Amino acid sequence: MTGADPRPGVRSPLRGVPGPAQTIPALLERQAETYGDKPLLRVGEVELGFSAVRDHARAAAGALAATGVEPGDRVVVISHNRLELLELVIGCAWLGAVVVPLNVALRGAQLQHALDNSAPRLIVAEQELLPMLASAAPPPGLERVWVLGDSAASVEAYESVPFVEAPAIDPGAGGPPAAAVDPGTTLAILYTSGTTGPSKGVCCPHAQSYWWGVTVGELLELTQDDVLYTCLPMFHTNALNTFSQALVAGATFVVGERFSASRFWERLARSEATVTYLLGAMVGILDGREPGPGDRAHGVRRALAPATPGPLHERFRDRFGIQLLDVYGSTETNGAIGASLSHQRPGYMGVALPDFEIDVVDENDASVPDGAPGELVLRPRHPFSFATGYFGMPEATVSAWRNLWFHSGDRVARDADGWVRFLDRTKDAIRRRGENISSFEVEQAILQHPGIAAVAVFAVPSELAEDEVMAALVPEPGGSLDPIELTRHCETRLAYFAIPRYLDVVQELPLTENGKVRKAVLRERGVTPSTWDREAAGYELRR
């Protein structure tokens, strides 16, 4: 690595605690003793100090144990962001049970697979989300359903399963002592979207959560004076590990409502946050809105914003006063690639952080030369700082962790100085007439056009086999797009074979609950009557 070291110089106050202390119960006990009534958690009008959160964990564990949940049992939670969801996470951790927070958008076969695979003893669901369960049969071994709401309505398909109102958690009621969990004990099972088969339940151990708190906390330079605000869903690793960052740093974690571009800045200001959490698509959406008085009416100066296109970093900082931090991690891994706030290089993920090893390999797992594209593989230097595998799917686990490296499925290139550029997800790679095309790089080029608020580039079938390149485009508010002018813009920035043949103007891009673009939806929709076709229009590219 040449030049100044881009890795963080800040050290977490809890870096280096011994392995047995790298569990959620141990961290809750330690930080409750250190910080007492200092606020750790704020959800809506409820604010809880470090000691109170520890007490809520103990009480939630007691409620779970009273209904028959034992260490190792799975507890499925179907809920939007609310206090009870986090109580169940820390309650399961305290008891040694495994929490399984499910994406609230799951239905039908996807939901059925997650339920059958995790085989929960208990399901906890918001009353308004009970219709989700009607699209799937009860999994084997399910004993009861707790309903978060005013009444314990039931679901016809579950007529043999008792539905009861979820008990209120009373921190004054006490509960069992913390279970003797190890750093490698599974804390949560988080389901990732299936790309080549069923979704996989990632087994996330306690120590992985601790290391998320340490590594990302150091990159964000968190202190006990920080307030961390997220509106991302807590069934996703990003938001769950924001809690870990607050716990490790002695900071305050504020749980917000689901992302709304029109209300984001108002909610951020009200939270009194100093740090927030965004995804690349959310950055583009906020940047694409008309300027307003809320743009700077907040106290946030840094944000974790993985997968943000390079050109947006400077624009976002200049307009909103927020420096964006790009960090690479996944549900299976950790914050393994990044750079300190003072060494951000827009368009790059960062460098390998000291707690992890990375390589870039070909289809035979052989290292590729610097600058050449290949698959990113990773492994940790500390035990249980990565996931331990996929629940009930040993073949998928062996495949993903083959040759002692976790295979990310991400195509990247590593420069000679160690900096890593993201090229594409393997499944999103486009091959057109013998050329491999990075949809990410095409998107970055298009986003340099001042009339584009958001874009998604994807493959559609070609009459000549392989793929054609298509782009779904969201124009800036009140603007319109001339496809020929946009194509000319691309000609100066992209190889001719990477320039989209098809352009489709849309009002918005389909997003997951996590704020990521659902390219599968766009691919399935494909070319529509409103799509502009460069070849049909007779436009000849300049080469």
According to the model, what pLDDT value does residue 338 have? 97
pLDDT in tens, 186-239: 999 999 865 445 789 999 999 999 999 999 999 999 999 999 999 999 999 999
What mean pLDDT do residues 244-266 have?
96
Please compute the mean of the pLDDT values over residues 138-145 and round it to a whole number. 95
User: Which pLDDT value is given to residue 195?
Assistant: 42
Q: CA 105, CA 256: separation in Å to the nearest integer?
A: 18
Where do the H-state alpha helices sit in 14-71? 24-35, 50-66
CA distance 419 to 413: 8
Taking residues 280-294, report their average pLDDT. 88
Write down the pLDDT at residue 152.
67
Indicate whether 22 pLDDT > 50: yes
* Res. 126: pLDDT tops 80: yes
Counted residue by residue, the chain has a size of 543
In which residue are the tokens 């979820």 written?
Answer: 166
Mean of pLDDT over the chain: 92
- Rounded Cα distance, 490 and 445, in Å: 7
Cα–Cα distance between 504 and 407 in angstroms, integer? 34
How many C-beta atoms surround the C-beta of residue 260 within 10 A? 11
If you average pLDDT over residues 9-15, what whole number do you get? 92
- Full set of structural domains in the chain with CATH: 49-174 (3.40.50.980), 354-425 (2.30.38.10), 429-533 (3.30.300.30)
**Nearest CA-CA partner of 384 in 191, 238, 211, 237:** 211
pLDDT at 415: 96
| Extended beta strands in 166-218, E state | 186-192, 200-205
| Per-residue pLDDT, 543 | 62
pLDDT band at 163 (very low <50, low <70, confident <90, very high): very high
The H or E element spanning position 519 is helix 519-525
Examine the pLDDT at 15 and tell me if it is beyond 90.
yes
Per residue in 291-313, pLDDT (tens digit) is: 999 999 999 999 999 988 888 89
What is the percentage of the chain residues whose pLDDT exceeds 90?
A: 75
Higher pLDDT among residues 196 and 393, named by residue: 393
Residue 3 pLDDT grade (very low, low, confident, very high; cuts 50, 70, 90): low
Q: What is the mean pLDDT of residues 103-107?
A: 83
Q: Is the pLDDT of residue 253 over 90?
A: yes
pLDDT at 36: 98
